[in-house]
């Protein structure tokens, strides 16, 4: 198995939509290239932030083809999720044919069954591909909690499982996983507002959300945390945290697209049933963005 592609800063890239609700492939390609030019190490499309649950199968494949062409030597590492195991396997195989270089494997949409069902589902996807894979553990969103012992068992059974994106919200999970698997798996932080804590606990990567609007700041924050530059890291993290917390609420897709619009890197269009945020939540987000932009030059000096 080649070295893991699941390291450093990996944007959970948003899916831009045109006014007719079709995917804007031109902007998608440019946006991915901007992320990579800022120092990100690869691209993760079709995840929760990428509105993968609202994209049709053919749309997903076209997104992957666009990104593989745009990313050059950088890996495209899509989220693989579907209503059924059969559909997830088909998407994994289509992603491999499209030139993707790794997969982020999610539990099935909607169904929240026993852990053995989640294990069987992701196991089928892992067996269906030769690509290196990262398990995505996000129990609040998907209702399945892949515990550290379960992750260790999956790693023992599937050599192409090389990483886990940990989004339980419990920083102790990073050390618990590493205690069981050692260096066998890379652990990545999956929640924006605990990246520094996760890296301190041993995470080797960050699947980031606000990176869609602030890639240079995201790369710098991760590298300062990784390199143990505590004072500079703390200053940048303090500035970034109000923005990063926008990634941790149910409206995170709409909010991150709002931030993108405010910095001139996209717009607020989301696919229904989502709608752009309104009212107090919108006003709060705009105030956070305004304050961050006013202080941005100082923290990045």
pLDDT in tens, 64-103: 999 999 999 999 999 999 999 999 999 999 999 999 999 9
| DSSP bridge pairs for 288 | none
pLDDT in tens, 96-108: 999 999 999 999 9
Question: How far is CA 93 from each of CA 64, 86, 87, rounded to the nearest angstrom?
Answer: 12, 11, 10
Domain boundaries, the chain: 8-227
pLDDT in tens, 213-235: 999 999 999 999 999 999 999 99
Confidence of residue 1 (pLDDT cuts 50, 70, 90): very low
Is the distance from CB of 270 to CB of 256 less than 8 angstroms? no
* Choice among 60, 142, 165, 257 that is catalytic: 165
State residue 144's pLDDT score.
87
* Choice among 136, 178, 237, 257 that is catalytic: 136
Look up tokens 């939509």; give the residue: 17
pTM across the whole model:
0.95
CATH code 3.20.20.70 for 8-227 = yes
Which is it for the CA torsion 175, 180, 186, 191, positive or negative? negative
Task: Round the average pLDDT of the chain to a whole number and report it.
Answer: 96
State residue 2's pLDDT score.
45
State residue 21's pLDDT score.
98
- Count CB atoms within 10 A of the CB of residue 19: 8
User: Is 30 among the catalytic positions?
Assistant: no
User: Is 136 among the catalytic positions?
Assistant: yes
pLDDT in tens, 276-289: 999 999 999 999 99
Query: What distance in Å separates the CA atoms of residue 301 and residue 282, rounded to the nearest whole number?
Result: 29
């Amino acid at each position: 198995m080649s070295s893991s592609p699941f390291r450093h800063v990996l944007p959970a890239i948003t899916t831009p939509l045109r006014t007719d609700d079709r995917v804007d492939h031109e902007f998608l390609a440019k946006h991915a290239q901007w992320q990579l030019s800022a120092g990100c190490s690869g691209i993760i499309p079709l995840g929760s932030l990428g509105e993968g649950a609202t994209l049709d199968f053919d749309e997903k494949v076209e997104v992957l083809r666009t990104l593989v062409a745009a990313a050059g030597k950088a890996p495209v590492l899509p989220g693989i999720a579907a209503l059924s195991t059969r559909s997830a396997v088909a998407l994994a195989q289509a992603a491999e044919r499209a030139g993707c270089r790794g997969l982020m494997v999610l539990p099935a949409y909607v169904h929240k069954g026993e852990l053995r069902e989640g294990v069987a589902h992701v196991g089928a996807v892992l067996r269906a591909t030769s690509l290196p894979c990262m398990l995505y553990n996000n129990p609040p969103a998907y209702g399945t909690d892949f515990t550290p012992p379960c992750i260790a068992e999956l790693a023992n059974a599937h050599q192409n499982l090389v990483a886990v994106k940990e989004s339980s919200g419990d920083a102790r999970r990073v050390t618990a996983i590493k205690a069981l698997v050692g260096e066998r798996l890379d652990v990545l932080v999956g929640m924006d507002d605990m990246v520094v804590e996760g890296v301190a606990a041993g995470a080797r990567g960050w699947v980031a959300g606000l990176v869609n609007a602030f890639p240079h700041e995201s790369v710098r924050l991760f590298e300062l945390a990784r390199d143990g530059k505590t004072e500079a890291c703390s200053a940048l993290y303090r500035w970034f945290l109000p923005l990063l917390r926008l990634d941790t609420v149910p409206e995170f897709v709409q909010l991150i697209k709002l931030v993108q619009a405010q910095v001139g890197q996209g717009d607020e269009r989301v696919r229904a049933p989502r709608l752009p945020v309104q009212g107090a939540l919108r006003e709060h987000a705009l105030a956070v963005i305004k304050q961050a932009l006013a202080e941005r030059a100082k923290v990045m000096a």
